[in-house]
Structure 1
Amino acid sequence: GGRVLIPSFALGRAQEITQILQTSMASGLLPAVPIHLDGLTRGITEAYEDMLPLLPEALQNRTKVSKQRPFLTGTVNLVKDKRERDGILASERPAVVIASSGMLHAGASPQYARAWLPHAENALFVVGYQDAESPGRRLLELQQGGEVMLPAQNGGKGGGGFEPVAAYSRVERFYLSAHADRGGLLGMIARYAPGKVILTHGELRARSNMAGYLNSKHDVGLPEAGELVSLKDSGKRRGSFMNTAPKKLEAMKERHARTTVSVRYDPETHEVRIALPDNLDGALFGEGDYTLEVLRGKTSRVKLREHDAEAIEGQRQADAEDTSAEEVLA
């Protein structure tokens, strides 16, 4: 009997929620009420409509059988302008609004929240991650109702302000995470076998840990905000050797099958010094820091652990000063 606001991420999540509601209404699990898409969810959903061949096969088949559009059909409506939004806000008819932003930071969703949160017959359903400082997280932390700070109408005095809003409607959280875990990400990377992997989104510690898993087979980038990144694989990774054409790879293996490499450990400096033969193919070892795996006193594997331009330059300078002709691999 009330009105429901679902703050949602515009890309992917809003369309998923639309599908869940449409299916539930068609099967009778939910009463058929208007579903309004507002904010950035409008343009993104229209873009999805134009990409039907790229959508899941089940959705394509259902669309072909029903002869209807995949999302904007039935009771689903795009809120065209402020006048239509004001009409929805003023109406007391049951309705569902899916609006961005998903954390109630800005956009259309705070406007509906200000109007509907004070009334107990309404509801607000959280369907995505809420940042610790977001209005959505503070709303979830309210136990028995109270006030939550939301972006003020028209930005408040001077713009960018917040104002307290009474929150007595029903508030619930639904876990619909679209994130893959580490195993899922590694599986996707293995599936597409890229020459270079750039980790751009997430906390530094998590990205660094992920880079550690990928570093031996891929050229991995950990750029900072605003940093220009080359998309070209440097070709100095172990993976670039492993991706060599089969015939060339077999010939290279045969050529180096009987190569002897001298390894010496210095107990005073804790350095492992490896003297590589002059005729060893440079494709086998790129520049950087390596890790050694030793089995029963024999080096069984050498893996490139880190490719750092500054570290490489520092190593070159150190080598220039070193009287030894041996290459130092940490």
Structure 2
Amino acid sequence: MSKVDQQLEDLRAEITSELPSDISVSDVKYEGPELVVYTRDPKKFARNGDLIRQLASQLRKRITVRPDPDVLSRPQDAREKVMDVIPEEAGVTDLDFHADTGEVVIEAEKPGMVIGKHGSTLREITQEVGWTPEVVRTPPIESSTVSNVRNFLKQERDERRDILEKVGRQIHREEMSNDEYVRITTLGCCREVGRASFILSTPETRVLIDCGDKPGAEDEVPYLQVEEALGAGANTIDAVVLTHAHLDHSALIPLLFKYGYDGPIYTTEPTRDLMGLLQLDYLDVAAKEGRTPPYDSEMVREAIKHTIPLEYGDVTDIAPDVKLTLHNAGHILGSAVSHFHIGDGLYNVAFSGDIHYDDTRLFNGAVNDFPRVETLVLESTYGGRNDYQTDQEDSERRLKEVINDTHEKGGKVVIPAFAVGRSQEMMLVIEEAMRNGDIPEMPVHLDGMIWEATAIHTTYPEYLRDDLRDRIFHEDENPFLADQFNHIDGGEEERQDVADGDQCIILSTSGMVTGGPIMSWLEHLGGDPDNTMTFVGYQAQGTLGRRIQNGWDEIPMNRGGGRNGKLSLKLDVETVDGFSGHADRQGLMNFVKTMNPRPEKVLCVHGDESSTQDLSSSLYHEFNMRTFAPKNLETFRFK
């Protein structure tokens, strides 16, 4: 008998001994990081709401209780009883029964009402029908991404259970080494912005954190082939952790599956959905530009199938000697600071991913409160000594000035924006400004993936700032449903109509002008000096956005079919700072300053050379800690 099988036998015996004699345990399995307990008495389990909590606390494991399939009531009988238990105002839109696991997936407009106070309604459902309820939100704005991901995972349930069981056995395998060390190897994003990727390794485990591309440099990818990463084989990696969905962190994760990786990806649920959206668009853009994509859409589906979503604050075993906890990073929807607790109190490392320290209109500020962190890997995008952004109020005032000035000239405002994060921030600012009469009411056209990304935001309001979440719960107050927003879905013909029509605001991808519909808007609007192009997000070195920002007034255009040319830009170009999803220099310093306890070492990454070195030097002088501005392919050993 393997060590894992023996563990499960022992756990089954321990659980049985702790339960009342009239509650049976028919099987115990690992599924990913969870321990799943099957019982023939689910209704009795549900009557005692504290039982699962007590077992989880005693065993120090996440526990799910499921009914044995052969004790389940028929779905058609259970459906009526479930609907009787759930309040009508919860707005149930679908019930989906899965006899293989004894789960009923309840999709509702107001999931909180299905859950009930401290899970009381969920327990009542199980008491009535024996099925284990799982609740998901009905998107207030229909999202093809959310729908496709949910349907895909439903189709792949059997294979996904096999994946989870395999992952669970890997997590709880016997430790093979008596050595103790922690190493971090940098595979990208050091002294540069983009291609974020790191390996965190112990004698027992190797974890890959992020795997992104470099904006404006398609041929520069993380150094995955080195021995510390995939050089010894893709399945020497135990787990992948994704901090957030932006392509400079997520674009090349499907490539791992092309190389033979078949392990788990840990991230938040909204990051999983956004990851799929952005990666498929990444493939689409590559095809339109005549580039050979590094992987195909099947690999994107593999990545989604292997994703194990975690909620903020959940401490999760991801290897025999590594526990992971994700915390809000304040950057984009679902973005996470990833905290790793290694060994039995041996060492703690936190990877910031991209962070925003202060609250924004969309998100609460980044969490930096951890029990322990000896080493922090910290982004430095705006870490330079002069990288101070204007505050939010001044930024919004300046944006409104630009819109009003352009409107008075009779022109149109075009804003290149990332589909995820900046676009929704812009929508909130513009909607409120029009509602308050600070700018004239006019159409706001959303092009590219912005509408779809916004729909995903409304699916996961619990990840948004508290007051915004409350507004989304009330349909008549949902700012994203304001009348002025128009989704451009008619392609080039609709763009031409908008360009020929009345004054308006256009939000369009791509945010760094590296392709996508923004190129079309430049063709339509770039020749009119009454129009204004307004940058509201970071423009990386080497991108067309940075060049236009720096004064280029003639840009190359790929018109398809091998026809290239030049476009003269006569429109006004403005930059409004302060809307970035990244902390500025002061925010990064404050993030470290207010950490309690403060880390002993900080690795400053994800910034150009001067930014990482400036931030590293300042943290050293200010807080007397060891700091580094590493290069790519350096390895740091701790312990």
The interval holding the TM-score normalised by the smaller chain is: 0.5 to 0.7
- 1:149–1:98 Cα change, 3 Å: same
| Matched residue SS, 1:67 | helix
Query: Could you tell me which amino acid in structure 2 is paired with residue 29 of structure 1?
Result: D
CA contact (8 A) 2:419 2:450 kept: yes
Residue of 417, 436, 439 corresponding to 1:27: 436
Cα distance in 2 for partners of 1:186, 1:123 equals: 34
Name the stretch that deviates more: 38-47 or 195-204: 195-204
Aligned-pair CA distance for 1:118 = 1.0
Structure 1 counterpart of 2:453:
44
Residue of 518, 535, 538 corresponding to 1:129: 538
Cα distance in 2 for partners of 1:137, 1:148 equals: 13
Superposition TM-score, scaled by structure 1 size: 0.55
Aligned-pair CA distance for 1:133 = 4.6
Residue of 568, 585, 589 corresponding to 1:166: 568
Name the stretch that deviates more: 103-112 or 200-209: 200-209
Cα distance in 2 for partners of 1:229, 1:45 equals: 39
Please give the per-residue CA displacement for 1:36-77, whole angstroms capped at 9, x wherever unaligned.
222243333222222212212232344446634342432112
CA contact (8 A) 2:495 2:521 kept: no
- 1:31–1:149 Cα change, 3 Å: same
Please give the per-residue CA displacement for 1:253-273, whole angstroms capped at 9, x wherever unaligned.
xxxxxxxxxxxxxxxxxxxxx
Cα distance in 2 for partners of 1:194, 1:52 equals: 31
1:148 aligns with 2:148: no
Aligned-pair CA distance for 1:87 = 4.8
Please give the per-residue CA displacement for 1:15-44, whole angstroms capped at 9, x wherever unaligned.
111111111111122222221222243333
Structure 2 counterpart of 1:184:
587
Mark the runs of 5 or more structure 2 residues left unpaired by the alignment: 1-409
CA contact (8 A) 2:412 2:503 kept: yes
How many positions carry a matched residue from both structures? Answer: 224
Query: Could you tell me which amino acid in structure 1 is paired with residue 587 of structure 2?
Result: G
CA contact (8 A) 1:49 1:70 kept: no
CA contact (8 A) 1:194 1:218 kept: no
Cα distance in 2 for partners of 1:177, 1:86 equals: 26
Structure 1 counterpart of 2:425:
16
1:204 aligns with 2:613: no
1:4 aligns with 2:413: yes
- 1:219–1:44 Cα change, 3 Å: farther
Aligned-pair CA distance for 1:222 = 3.6
Please give the per-residue CA displacement for 1:188-244, whole angstroms capped at 9, x wherever unaligned.
2453768786543112343345446379768979462xx5989xxx663xxxxxxxx
- 1:87–1:20 Cα change, 3 Å: same
Q: 1:312-323 counterparts in 2 under 5 A?
A: none
Aligned-pair CA distance for 1:4 = 2.0
1:71 aligns with 2:474: no
Query: Could you tell me which amino acid in structure 1 is paired with residue 560 of structure 2?
Result: N
Structure 2 counterpart of 1:104:
513
CA RMSD in angstroms, aligned pairs only: 3.6
CA contact (8 A) 1:128 1:175 kept: yes
Aligned-pair CA distance for 1:122 = 2.5
Identical counterparts, % of pairs: 25
| Matched residue SS, 2:595 | helix
Please give the per-residue CA displacement for 1:271-305, whole angstroms capped at 9, x wherever unaligned.
xxxxxxxxxxxxxxxxxxxxxxxxxxxxxxxxxxx
CA contact (8 A) 1:4 1:124 kept: yes
| Matched residue SS, 1:191 | coil
Query: Could you tell me which amino acid in structure 1 is paired with residue 557 of structure 2?
Result: P
Cα distance in 2 for partners of 1:70, 1:193 equals: 39
Cα distance in 1 for partners of 2:573, 2:629 equals: 41
Name the stretch that deviates more: 86-95 or 31-40: 86-95
Cα distance in 1 for partners of 2:544, 2:554 equals: 7
Structure 2 counterpart of 1:56:
465
Cα distance in 2 for partners of 1:98, 1:123 equals: 12
Q: 1:261-280 counterparts in 2 under 5 A?
A: none
Aligned-pair CA distance for 1:173 = 2.4
Aligned-pair CA distance for 1:184 = 2.1
